[in-house]
């Protein structure tokens, strides 16, 4: 593997961790919010944070896809 392949693989692992972490944060945050009887606005805040993480992961995944596509051709 070249350094470029290692960097792409590392980005892929980070994307996977961000997706998994965002999902765990979202589930845990919704659970805690309901258990602590926090206002509904905190649910939206948790949702927006998770959505931001998913959008970031989507953008980086697209960069990975383009980098791999450029390496093939």
pLDDT in tens, 6-43: 999 999 999 999 999 999 999 999 999 999 999 999 99
Look up the domain containing 60 and give its range: 3-72
End-to-end CA distance of the chain: 18
Q: How many domains does the chain have?
A: 1
Q: What does the pLDDT read at residue 17?
A: 98
What is the token pair recorded at 37?
């009887």
In which region does residue 18 sit, left (phi positive, over 0), alpha (psi from -120 to 50) or beta (all else)?
alpha
Q: What does the pLDDT read at residue 73?
A: 63
The pTM (predicted TM-score) of the whole model is: 0.87
pLDDT digits (tens, 9 = 90+) for 35-70: 999 999 999 999 999 999 999 999 999 999 999 888
């Amino acid at each position: 593997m070249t350094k470029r392949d290692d960097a792409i693989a590392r980005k892929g692992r980070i994307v996977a961790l961000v997706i998994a972490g965002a999902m765990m944060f979202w589930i845990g945050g919704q659970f805690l919010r309901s258990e602590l009887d926090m206002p509904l606005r905190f649910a939206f805040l948790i949702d927006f944070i998770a959505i931001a993480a998913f959008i970031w992961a989507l953008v980086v995944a697209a960069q990975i896809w383009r980098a791999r596509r450029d390496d093939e051709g």
